[in-house]
Chain A
Amino acid sequence: MPTVAGGRPPVTPPPGRGHARHGRWVVPAVVTLVLACGAGFVVFWTGGSTAGGSRAVAPVLVTGIGGRIPLGTGFDSPWTMVQTAGCGYPSHTERGVDPTRQTCRVFVVLGNPSPEPVRMADHFPDLVDDRGGTHPAVREPPGRAPVVQPGQRLTSVVFTYEMARERRPVRLEGRLIQAGPIVRVPL
């Protein structure tokens, strides 16, 4: 059972089910990718962790999981919310699953009820672990961040991070849209 963000430490997956587990992930991964592309968005994968604390930029909006985070000053501003977050997913490498690391996935919904399009941030929020380590999300493929059109809602935004297996995520912190506020979501 993977660790729900902020919960107990992850447990090593049961042996002998690696192939089945890998197969189990193929369909959700493909579906996620297809849905993300269909929504005009991309899935983010990480390229390892970076030691050090989070960037200190004010002001910071603090909202928990499930809370609507306004990304502007008006009640009709773009908004986002973290739907689920958790670690303990297998960390796949070119040589198979790395037993010393884990993948964390943060599922986000983003809506733009405003009459103006907004562009997603080039650098997406970092995941901060229980020792203050900051883990950046790295976008693939590279390119300009997508635009969220008026009225559009993105439902398949998945931030993916990797970190040492014994670490726990404690918060998500960063920008969702360009020129938007820095948000901090305790996990």
Chain B
Amino acid sequence: MRFVRVAVAGVLLACLTSVPVAAHAGPAARGGDCAPEFVIADPNARQYEQAALGAVYTLRIEEEGPPRVRARLMRPWMPPTPEGPIARADIDGDGCDDLVVGSPHLSAGDHPGTPDLGYLPGEDGYVQIIWGGTPARGQMDATTVLRPPVRGRHGHFGWSVAAAAGVVAVGAPHEDAPGVPDAGAVHLFALADRRVRGAPRRLAQDTPGVPGDSEDGDLFGWSLAMADLAGAAGVPDLVVGAPYEDDDGGGRQPDGQGVTHAGAVTLLRDVALPRTPAGTQFRLPSAEGLFGYALAASRSAGVANLAAGAPGAGAVQLFRGTPGGDPSPLRVLRGPRSYGFSLALAGDDLAIGAPDEGGGTVTVVPLDGPAEPFVVGGGPGDRFGWSVAGAGYGRLLVGAPDRGRTGAVALVPIGGDEIVWFAPGDGTIPEPPSVYGEPRWPHERGVAVDFGSSVG
């Protein structure tokens, strides 16, 4: 009965809130008349009476001039990813970007195709692909659910996600290897016609072809990125972060040996091809440096770029693709503590979040040339830069989940100073829904608390 009430209210809300988006569906910043445009998550929002159910918002931002935002609370009962980026790629090849949203702290039910009413708080996790498409085709809410292949592993499947044409990678960093807790793993799903094809492949550091050893607490799969960086042209490569890996030499070692929590980044070439993976491991030795905490990868104008954050060391390693070979280290960028907590490659720029530096900062570094970095910061306690994503037309979306009571997101013009803030209840972003009817108790009210934790 409770779920029925939630479902009915949710459907009503979804219908009501979708009208303005459809009515104003003009040219989008990317992908023609595709929707949704951007996604912002509040993983700890309360909707109805559901504690920390989370909330996902979609935004459409006009191309140029003063930003006009069309915001919508999307599928109110769909929980988002708590930390880390949302993956964006044209997975189904229809010309519209699709979004991959992980929910590592909920477990899907047993009813395939009905994910929205069939989950409970849990540690298995699941992932939803939100298919982009034109509103006229009625595809705005179409989703495909990815579940962990084995239930009960409590690996936090969906902690990280990455996607490319026909393939989605899902990190489960707390998944155990046999006798090795929290070694971590990545699950690779092949998709065609918006359906999963075949069983997912499990990749871990004890998989043949994958460098390294599955060790206690490595948390392999903490972060992911995917792009055509090396190997066969046009075939995506997968980059996997294991920030809590110790730099302790070859062979399986107990946790806490060598350079502790130095971290590692593994490049797996051509993962979409059905063959034994071939990989290379990169390191940036620094105790507690957490190399691989955040990743960003792209191929733009034929140039492959990869960035890996080591926020414990306040550093970001930038790699550049090489003809016929693996990406090679290009330069190390240094900043304050937590520098590299979040990353985004936006056109010719790399955006680097450092949310624990004062009120938080985002540094925008040109990938080429000697141009001075552009630095923008938030207010005291905002945790500005917790998440960051390119917003097109020389702009960034920056999450500040501790700004005010609800959290906020800033639309930042790179090099400019006219920052526009958005937050639930500001007239642009709707607040999470309360119980159907008049709420009688505080816990029956919808509450936004962490808006901007994830943007994509």
Residue of A nearest to B53 (CB): A155
A78: min CB distance to chain B, Å: 13
A-chain residues with CB within 8 Å of residue B392 when the two chains form the complex: none
A-chain residues with CB within 8 Å of residue B261 when the two chains form the complex: 115
A45: min CB distance to chain B, Å: 16
Q: Let me know if A119 is at the binding interface, CB within 8 A.
A: no
Bound Cα distance A143, B406 (Å): 35
Cβ contact within 8 Å between A2 and B442:
yes
Interface-side segment among A52-60, A104-112, A122-130? A104-112
- Given contacts A75-B341, A81-B450, is CB(A105)–CB(B120) below 8 Å? no
Cβ contact within 8 Å between B182 and A150:
yes
Q: Let me know if A120 is at the binding interface, CB within 8 A.
A: no
Complex partner residue of A75 from B51, B182, B356, B442, CB under 8 angstroms: B356
Render A1-25 as a binary contact track against B, CB cut-off 8 A, 1 for contact. 1101100000000000000000000
Q: Let me know if B355 is at the binding interface, CB within 8 A.
A: yes
B-chain residues with CB within 8 Å of residue A38 when the two chains form the complex: 120-122
Cβ contact within 8 Å between B182 and A109:
no
Contact residues, B252-299 vs A (CB, 8 A): 261, 290, 293
Complex partner residue of A83 from B52, B82, B293, CB under 8 angstroms: B52
Cβ contact within 8 Å between B104 and A75:
no
Bound Cα distance A4, B443 (Å): 10
Bound Cα distance A68, B386 (Å): 12
A-chain residues with CB within 8 Å of residue B195 when the two chains form the complex: none
B334: min CB distance to chain A, Å: 17
Q: Let me know if A179 is at the binding interface, CB within 8 A.
A: no
Contact residues, B215-232 vs A (CB, 8 A): 217, 219
B-chain residues with CB within 8 Å of residue A1 when the two chains form the complex: 440
Q: Let me know if B173 is at the binding interface, CB within 8 A.
A: yes
Bound Cα distance A142, B219 (Å): 34
Q: Let me know if B202 is at the binding interface, CB within 8 A.
A: no
Cβ contact within 8 Å between B51 and A109:
yes
Bound Cα distance A1, B341 (Å): 43
B-chain residues with CB within 8 Å of residue A39 when the two chains form the complex: 121
B-chain residues with CB within 8 Å of residue A27 when the two chains form the complex: 2
A-chain residues with CB within 8 Å of residue B219 when the two chains form the complex: 115, 150
Render B111-124 as a binary contact track against A, CB cut-off 8 A, 1 for contact. 00000000011110
Bound Cα distance A131, B290 (Å): 47
Residue of B nearest to A67 (CB): B402
A-chain residues with CB within 8 Å of residue B44 when the two chains form the complex: 81, 83, 109, 155
A58: min CB distance to chain B, Å: 19
- Given contacts A68-B401, A115-B244, is CB(A105)–CB(B443) below 8 Å? yes
Cβ contact within 8 Å between A86 and B52:
no
Bound Cα distance A169, B280 (Å): 57
B interface, over-half SS: loop
Bound Cα distance A27, B49 (Å): 11
Q: Let me know if A35 is at the binding interface, CB within 8 A.
A: yes
Cβ contact within 8 Å between A109 and B52:
yes
Q: How many residues of B contact A (CB 8 A)?
A: 50
Bound Cα distance A128, B106 (Å): 34
Cβ contact within 8 Å between A89 and B52:
no
Bound Cα distance A2, B445 (Å): 12
Cβ contact within 8 Å between B407 and A66:
yes
- Given contacts A65-B449, A115-B219, is CB(A83)–CB(B2) below 8 Å? no
Q: Let me know if A152 is at the binding interface, CB within 8 A.
A: yes
Q: Let me know if B187 is at the binding interface, CB within 8 A.
A: no
Q: Let me know if A147 is at the binding interface, CB within 8 A.
A: no
A43: min CB distance to chain B, Å: 12
Q: Let me know if A85 is at the binding interface, CB within 8 A.
A: yes
Complex partner residue of B440 from A2, A31, A81, CB under 8 angstroms: A2
B-chain residues with CB within 8 Å of residue A64 when the two chains form the complex: 405
Render B419-456 as a binary contact track against A, CB cut-off 8 A, 1 for contact. 00000000000000000000011110101111000000
Q: Let me know if B338 is at the binding interface, CB within 8 A.
A: yes
Cβ contact within 8 Å between B52 and A84:
no
Q: Let me know if A28 is at the binding interface, CB within 8 A.
A: yes
Contact residues, B296-313 vs A (CB, 8 A): 311-312
A-chain residues with CB within 8 Å of residue B83 when the two chains form the complex: 113
Residue of B nearest to A89 (CB): B441
Q: Let me know if A151 is at the binding interface, CB within 8 A.
A: yes
Residue of B nearest to A105 (CB): B443
B-chain residues with CB within 8 Å of residue A139 when the two chains form the complex: none
Bound Cα distance A74, B402 (Å): 17
Complex partner residue of B123 from A66, A107, A152, CB under 8 angstroms: A152
Bound Cα distance A65, B82 (Å): 18
Most buried by B among A65, A66, A88: A66
Bound Cα distance A28, B439 (Å): 14
Residue of B nearest to A108 (CB): B51
Q: Let me know if A166 is at the binding interface, CB within 8 A.
A: no
Cβ contact within 8 Å between B442 and A5:
yes
Residue of A nearest to B255 (CB): A115
Contact residues, B122-173 vs A (CB, 8 A): 122-123, 154, 156, 159, 173
A160: min CB distance to chain B, Å: 11
Give the interface of B toward A (CB within 8 A): 2, 44, 46, 49, 51-52, 82-83, 104-105, 120-123, 154, 156, 159, 173-174, 182, 217, 219, 244, 261, 290, 293, 311-312, 337-338, 341, 355-356, 381, 383, 401-402, 404-407, 440-443, 445, 447-450
Give the interface of A toward B (CB within 8 A): 1-2, 4-5, 27-28, 31, 35, 38-39, 63-68, 74-76, 81, 83-86, 88-89, 105, 107, 109, 111, 113, 115, 149-153, 155-156
Q: 29 A–B contact pairs at CB < 8 A?
A: A1-B440, A28-B49, A28-B443, A39-B121, A63-B381, A64-B405, A65-B405, A66-B402, A66-B405, A66-B406, A66-B447, A66-B449, A74-B312, A76-B293, A81-B449, A83-B44, A84-B46, A84-B445, A85-B442, A86-B443, A89-B441, A105-B442, A150-B217, A151-B123, A151-B173, A152-B123, A153-B82, A155-B44, A155-B51
